[in-house]
Amino acid sequence: MTEKFDTPEEAEIAFYEAIEQADIQALGQVWSLDENIVCIHPGANRIEGRAQVLESFSEMFAESPSIGFSISDALQTESDGLAIHLVREEIEFDGQLVSIMVSTNIYHKEDGGWRMLLHHSSHEPEPTLEDDFEDFDDFDDLPEPPPVLH
């Protein structure tokens, strides 16, 4: 049976829950049945097509420890049949923050429910400092940013 998500927000919640639970069947319910879906994992090439996208997540599930997401700074726009969500993902492995990503999730209405068409995630850029801080040398003691993982 095919899951029906009444809103793009419901589909998005299901997307992140499926990843956290490493549940490829649940993840498959979120993605569109259209073969033109696209996923871009951080630092990776574009993956096209339903089978290839789901295979990329299967590989990630097999190699990863327990993943947790905190989603914030969500910006959303929606029309009758298309929704675009821009989010900030704080990613935890086994309860420890390891990476911060900025992601674009696009959903469309399909067969009476909302499904994902695109997930594009990349590492959040380092904040830039104003020229006022040029001579401030305490910034040398900042920790290294977490690795890019997704």
Q: Name the one residue in this structure whose structure tokens are 């097999």.
A: 62
The per-residue pLDDT of the chain, averaged, comes to 87
- Residue 20: both structure tokens together: 């956290």
136 or 42: which leads in pLDDT: 42
Of 115, 142, 17, nearest to 67 by C-alpha is 17
**How big is the CA angle at 75 (ends 97 and 94), to the nearest 5 degrees?**
15
pLDDT digits (tens, 9 = 90+) for 4-41: 999 999 999 999 999 999 999 999 999 999 999 999 99
3-state DSSP percent of the chain in helix, strand and coil, to 5: 30, 35, 35
Q: Phi and psi dihedrals of 45, rounded to 5?
A: -75, 160
Report pTM: 0.81
Query: Could you tell me where the DSSP H helices lie in 1-150?
Result: 8-20, 24-30, 50-63
Residue 128: what pLDDT? 64
Res. 2 pLDDT band, cuts 50 70 90 = confident
Its CATH class, for the domain covering 8-123, is: alpha beta
Q: Are 39 and 54 within 8 A, CB to CB? A: no
Residue 116: what pLDDT? 98
Res. 63 pLDDT band, cuts 50 70 90 = confident
For residue 147, is pLDDT > 90?
no
- What residues does each domain of the chain span? 8-123
Give the integer Cα–Cα distance in Å for 115 and 61. 21
Average pLDDT over residues 85-97: 91
Residue 50: what pLDDT? 97
Residue 126: what pLDDT? 75
pLDDT digits (tens, 9 = 90+) for 124-143: 887 765 545 555 555 556 65
Give the integer Cα–Cα distance in Å for 147 and 60. 16
Residue 133: what pLDDT? 54
Inter-CA distances, 88 with 51, 73, 104, 115, Å = 26, 6, 9, 20
